[in-house]
Chain A
Amino acid sequence: MCGIVGLFLKDKSLEPGLGRLTAAMLHEMCGRGPDSAGFAVYGGAADGTSKICAVRRVPSLDWSDVAARLGKATGSKVTYETIEDHAVIRIDGDGAAARAWLIENVPEATVLSEGEAIEIYKGVGDPDAISRRLRLAAFSGTHAIGHTRMATESAVTIAGSHPFSTGRDTCLVHNGSLSNHNRLRETLRRHGERFQTENDTEVAAGYLSWRMKEGDSLKEALEHALDDLDGFYTFVVGTRDGFAVLRDPIACKPAVMAETDAWVAFGSEFRALAALPGIDGARLWEPAPATVYAWSRS
């Protein structure tokens, strides 16, 4: 199982309601993934800083101490705000170096995302409770991806929850399971990708980050994934300006998409899309297997 929702807005007037629409979509997918949930929201105009989202593993972690140490280590200005057990750390300058420093030096936290626009939040347990606790409905933004997890390949932990992000402003959610992730993880490590879990989906996220660093567009990276990833998957991927969907060649996992002039939406089942504004007039289709669907704001 596992449930996926994704919403990519074309109509700016809907942006203040992105979180509310995404929370309603995620609610419909609770039954497909009652173990844990997470969401990525892309929003906020860039002001030259990088945002790093992290979640603490131990209640005693002091975010002000983490921010002070990170500032000292990088020589950059660091601020932060907290939402429950998560922190959004803002840093002037190189976010990737800061991400790497946090992974290396703060084992009491899991780093969830790094970028200009992306914020990722995750939790364990009932997806509705997670989305309420982390105030998903209050978020505004341009696009969002959510996931409800029924664990198969690795333990039910916050770190094993989706979305996974290993590259700047890139995230991926996955319904399915990969069978060649162990070998591929080693290959990607040799290419410099950094992993925090034993999870198969994190390898897929790392693979896309690596391909895009090598110069692939999101669409090209996903086309390469068809050759290099083995297993079952429906992926929904977000980048700073883009949104994409890919299903494995035998279309093992469900997917339905809808599009209007105002938005593009993905759901594991139609019920996730049923409450979207204008759904009655939307173009509705099942994405074909082994076919990359991609949108970008330009």
Chain B
Amino acid sequence: MAAAREGARAAHDARNTDLDLASLSLRQANETLQKAEAGSFVVANPRGAHALAAGLTNPLDVTINGHVGYYCGGMNQKAHITINGNAGTGVAENMMSGRVHVKGDASQSAGATGCGGLLIIDGNASARLGISLRGLDIVVKGSIGHMAAFMAQAGTIVVLGDAGDALGDSIYEARLFVRGKVKSLGTDCIAKDMREEHRTLLRSLLDAAGIGPEIDVAEFTRYGSARKLYNFHIDNLGSY
């Protein structure tokens, strides 16, 4: 069984399968991707289509040439998806594993509720990046908007640029590393010391995102939960 699957993968790997949304419907393209067990696919003319390459469950390699709409790569498992353009709201939302790489900017709620895998954004991300994060790792090479990592539970967010207002509001155990300025921290989010384990983690994520040693982990500040809001306390009433 495993050998047969490897054989299928090898046959697919030998060529790119082109999916042109100028001639295929979105549903046809998504069905082809969702049914494929392996292989390499190039999607042309996405023209802002929503939910493109969402719900993939196999180790495909998908390259999308153009700007995508909402929820591209949502719920992704195992697939590696590269978007040569900008992504709309909720790119890689609720992603489970694999990798989603946005070569341009990402709109709101990128990586929201993501459970695992790696989301790389070469440009900027707007508001609500990684809200309710549950294990996904996110690396943003530009800056991010307000309310990032709101109620984030697990996973890591690395930002090479600046962060907007209310970073990490009501954060649980997600780890945040920001190289630039943070406009303001949300409730219960504080700057923390960088220990060796954090430097190692940060370096491994920078490596995974293809960022070389010219970016020094010492330039980052770590942020995380002050753990004051975990349990109800009457003195914190105004913060809940």
Contacts and interface: CB of A to CB of B under 8 A. Distances in A.
A286 B69 contact: no
Given A269-B69, A270-B48, A270-B67, A289 B88 contact: no
A273 B48 CA distance: 9
A250 interface: yes
A284 B106 CA distance: 11
Given A250-B127, A289-B127, A271 B105 contact: no
B47 interface: yes
Interface in B36-71: 47-49, 67-70
B132 interface: no
A285 B145 CA distance: 13
Interface string A242-270: 00000000110010100000000000011
B88 A274 contact: no
Best-buried of B104, B146, B147 by chain A (most CB within 10 Å):
B146
A251 B125 CA distance: 13
A271 B146 contact: no
Contacts of A28: 48
Contact of B69 (A251, A271, A275, A284): A271
B67 to A, nearest CB: 5
Interface in B72-113: 86, 88-89, 104-105, 107-108
Contact of B48 (A251, A269, A288): A269
Contacts of B145: 251, 288-289
A286 B145 CA distance: 11
A273 to B, nearest CB: 7
Given A270-B69, A285-B105, A254 B127 contact: no
Contacts of A286: 105, 107-108, 126
B49 A271 contact: yes
Contact of B126 (A251, A269, A271, A274): A251
Interface string B133-169: 0000000000001110000000000000000000000
A271 B127 contact: no
A254 B107 contact: yes
Give the size category of B's interface with A: 10 to 19
Contacts of B88: 254, 256, 269-270
Best-buried of A273, A275, A284, A286 by chain B (most CB within 10 Å):
A286
B47 A271 contact: yes
A270 B108 contact: no
A49 B23 CA distance: 49
Nearest to B123: A285
Given A285-B105, A286-B105, A254 B89 contact: yes
Given A273-B48, A285-B105, A286-B105, A251 B127 contact: yes
Nearest to B126: A286
Contacts of A250: 127, 146-147
Contacts of B127: 250-251, 289
A285 B127 CA distance: 13
Interface in A274-289: 274-275, 284-286, 288-289
A112 B145 CA distance: 38
Contact of B67 (A251, A254, A274, A288): A274
A286 B89 CA distance: 11
A285 B104 CA distance: 10
A254 B48 contact: no
A271 B47 CA distance: 6
B58 to A, nearest CB: 28
A274 B89 CA distance: 16
A280 to B, nearest CB: 8
Nearest to B49: A271
Best-buried of B48, B68, B126 by chain A (most CB within 10 Å):
B48
A274 B49 CA distance: 10
B49 A256 contact: no
A228 to B, nearest CB: 21
7 contacts: A254-B107, A270-B47, A270-B68, A272-B48, A274-B47, A274-B67, A289-B145
Interface of A: 28, 250-251, 254, 256, 269-275, 284-286, 288-289
- Enumerate the 8 nearest inter-chain pairs by beta-carbon distance, A residue then B residue, closest first: A270-B48, A271-B48, A274-B47, A286-B126, A274-B48, A270-B67, A251-B127, A286-B107
Given A251-B127, A274-B47, 15 more contacts: A250-B127, A254-B88, A254-B107, A270-B67, A271-B69, A272-B48, A273-B48, A274-B67, A284-B67, A284-B86, A284-B104, A285-B105, A286-B105, A286-B107, A289-B146
